[in-house]
Amino acid sequence: MSERQAVRRALISVYDKTGIEDFARGLADAGVEIVSTGSTAARIAAAGVAVTPVEDVTGFPECLGGRVKTLHPRVHAGILADRRLDTHRAQLDELDIEPFDLVAVNLYPFAATVASGAGQDEVVEQIDIGGPSMVRAAAKNHPSVAVLVDPAGYGTALEAIRDGGFTLAQRQALAATAFRHTADYDIHVASWMTSVVAPEEGSPFPRWIGASFERLSTLRYGENPHQGAAVYTDPLAQGGLAQARQLHGKEMSFNNYVDADAAIRAAFDQSRPAVAVIKHANPCGIAVGDDIAHAHARAHETDPVSAFGGVIAANRPVTVAAAEQIAKIFTEVVVAPGFEDGALEILQARKNVRVLEVDPAALQVEWRRITGGLLVQHADAVDAPGDPAVSWNLVAGDAADAATLSDLEFAWRACRSVKSNAILLAKAGAAVGIGMGQVNRVDSCRLAVDRAGAERAAGSVAASDAFFPFPDGLQVLADAGVKAIASPGGSVRDGEVIDAAREAGITLYHTGTRHFFH
Ligand SMILES: NC(=O)c1ncn([C@@H]2O[C@H](COP(=O)(O)O)[C@@H](O)[C@H]2O)c1NC=O
């Protein structure tokens, strides 16, 4: 335990004035002299606490509409003097500068001003200059100075001060928090300058990406028990899996997160009430229905064997009826935008299920780490719900009737969440056979047909995430009795594939869009 260092003089300059009066009063009661800026000083004085205006220290008035308040050697030398050094102490004496032991600063609300849609001049004015300078100076000089950047820390700080001051370990921890704070702040400023103020022509992607994530929790292990792992949140994200509220169950595992993300992707692509059951990042069941219970029953039926130990997402609040069904099946995770009265209690009675409430948030841009760098792409959005009969191109067979078309659209949306090569057979709004992750399309066709079984495959529709490079895959589907197919088209052998569809009497639509998912 390192020695505590008494706090005798504090500099306070805060935009967010939450709790400032009580904090100042606590400091004054502990015998700390307070120096403060403009309206912070006014608030402290109004609370009846003695405060020295910073101008009395600098001998220089605040000017340029607040752009210059604390940017003065009398302030910065007072913060930066390393009190362990005789030379620094001697210089302070020579220059008649009093050192600061504590700096409490929080910054102009840059990110919130950008988010408010303010114009450029207004945003620029919210780039805090003096604040980060003091925070960085105090954090650098943590052997002598403690720094606070968040009102939430005032209470703990007062306790430390009353106990005789901060230990070196405490000042180091505060300094690390402070540097993270200014780094975050600069990432926001630099991102805005790069993407909004001075965007580069010719690329829709910025020349630089700054990222800042906060650790949410350290996980028991990663994908496998010998891998360490943690989950991080994006402090600016509104909704999404990492921001979900866990309402019940054991700690989420790494694989739970991966599968829950895949489940959300699958279920929320559908506009009707939908449920997806995920195993190893692939849907083993997905269906739409009149309500969530109906959709769940049908999604489970896609492949009841594989659904054991699955991760379920619903795109509507889980009803009591749905919860009763889910509770009967061993399920790792249930994630939904809400749980109706009574539904949560039913799931909470099951020890092994994790229950998460999520505000769905679609990623606009996806990142994937590669060795030595990062791949970035616009997220793959399935076509806006529209009339496929209008936007798709009928290239073989008769135009599908409304029910068949609706099934094709369901299958097309559902296959976007299946790892490539993806073939998904569907009937009446439910997947009946899914072929995923095969290294050639014909094997995915065989797998989908095999999973469906002869009875369910007959009269089903199919969606293919990418074109058929040869007629062989389509032939497998045709032989199984699939009646209509949606596929992007675009192969050099489209002609052969279309001929095979015609010969088999199959309706074939080209969607024009590919949905690879690796
Ligand atoms: N320019 C400066 O010298 C300066 N010094 C402190 N500030 C900021 O001014 C704010 C506090 O000002 P006031 O006490 O007047 O409300 C703080 O958010 C602080 O980060 C400054 N403002 C911006 O750069």
Q: Is the CB of 40 under 6 A from ligand 1?
A: yes
Q: Mean pLDDT over residues 279-293, rounded? A: 97
Percent of the chain with pLDDT over 70: 98
**Tens digits of per-residue pLDDT, 8-55?**
999 999 999 999 999 999 999 999 999 999 999 999 999 999 999 999
Mean pLDDT, rounded, of the chain? 95
Confidence of residue 386 (pLDDT cuts 50, 70, 90): low
Check residue 238 and give its pLDDT: 87
Q: H-type helices in 231-329, by residue range? A: 254-267, 292-302, 320-327
182 in contact with ligand 1, CB cutoff 6 A: no
- Residue 363, pLDDT score: 79
Residue 133 CA to residue 76 CA, distance in Å, equals 8
Cα(153) to centroid of ligand 1, in Å? 19
Strands 146-148 vs 102-106: parallel, antiparallel or unpaired: parallel
- The kind and range of the H/E element at 406 are helix 402-414
Task: Out of 11, 20, 37, give the residue to mutate to test ligand 1, the one with the largest number of ligand atoms within 8 Å of its CB.
Answer: 37
pLDDT tens string 195-249: 999 998 899 999 999 999 999 999 999 999 999 999 999 988 889 999 999 999 9
User: Higher pLDDT residue, 125 or 389?
Assistant: 125
Say how many C-beta atoms besides its own lie within 10 A of residue 196's C-beta: 12
Q: What does each C-alpha distance from 166 to 22, 161, 179 come to in angstroms?
A: 19, 7, 18
Q: Which residue, judged by its Cα, is nearest atom 16 of ligand 1?
A: 39
Residues labelled as active-site residues: 140, 280
Ligand 1 contact, 108 CB (< 6 A) = yes
- Per-residue DSSP letters for 330-398? -EEEEEES-B-TTHHHHHHT-TT-EEEE------SEEEEEETTEEEEEE--PPPPS--HHHHSEEEESS
- Nearest atom within ligand 1 for CA of residue 132: 20
The residue-averaged pLDDT of 424-444 equals: 97
The C-alpha atoms of residue 388 and residue 405 are separated, in whole angstroms, by: 7
Ligand 1 mutation target, pool 128, 181, 189, most atoms within 8 A of CB: 128
- Give the lowest-confidence range in 97-106, 295-304, 376-385, 483-492: 376-385
Ligand 1 atom 5: the closest Cα is on which residue?
130
Q: From 69, 136, 186, give the residue whose CB has the most ligand 1 atoms within 8 Å, as the site to mutate.
A: 69
- Look at residue 391 in the predicted model and tell me its pLDDT: 85
pLDDT tens digit sequence for 412-424: 999 999 999 999 9
Give residue 1's pLDDT: 47
Short-list 306, 403, 296, 316, CA closest to 358: 316
Among 179, 99, 102, smallest CA distance to 139 is for: 179
436 neighbors 515 (Cβ within 8 angstroms):
no
Other residues' Cβ atoms within 10 Å of the Cβ of residue 380: 15
CA of 38 to the centre of ligand 1 (A): 8
The neighbour count for residue 250, using CB atoms within 10 Å, is 13
Q: What is the mean pLDDT of residues 268-272?
A: 92
152 pLDDT more than 60: yes
Long-range Cβ contact pairs of 433-437 (< 8 A, separation 24 or more): 433/302, 433/457, 433/460, 434/282, 434/283, 434/284, 434/286, 434/302, 434/303, 436/282, 436/283, 437/282
For residue 406, pLDDT over 80 is answered with yes
126 ligand 1 Cβ < 6 A: no
CA of 35 to the centre of ligand 1 (A): 13
DSSP bridge pairs for 223: none
- β-strand partners of 310: 331
CA–centroid distance, residue 483 to ligand 1 (Å): 70
Residue 360: pLDDT band by 50, 70, 90 thresholds?
A: confident
Q: pLDDT by residue (tens digit) across 136-151?
A: 999 999 999 999 999 9
Ligand 1 neighbour 394 (Cβ under 6 A)? no
- What pLDDT does 236 receive? 83
DSSP state of 166: B
Average pLDDT over residues 342-364: 93
Confidence (pTM): 0.91
Find, among 334, 319, 138, the residue nearest to 245 by Cα.
334
Q: What per-residue confidence (pLDDT) applies to 361?
A: 82
Ligand 1 in reach of 38 Cβ (< 6 A): yes
Q: Please work out whether the CB of residue 37 comes within 6 Å of at least one atom of ligand 1.
A: yes
Burial (CB count <10 Å: 0-12, 13-18, 19+), residue 269: buried
For ligand 1, the distance from its centroid to the CA atom of residue 13, given in whole angstroms, is: 6
- Would strands 52-53 and 461-464 be described as parallel, antiparallel, or unpaired? unpaired
Name the residue with the closest Cα to ligand 1, atom 22. 130
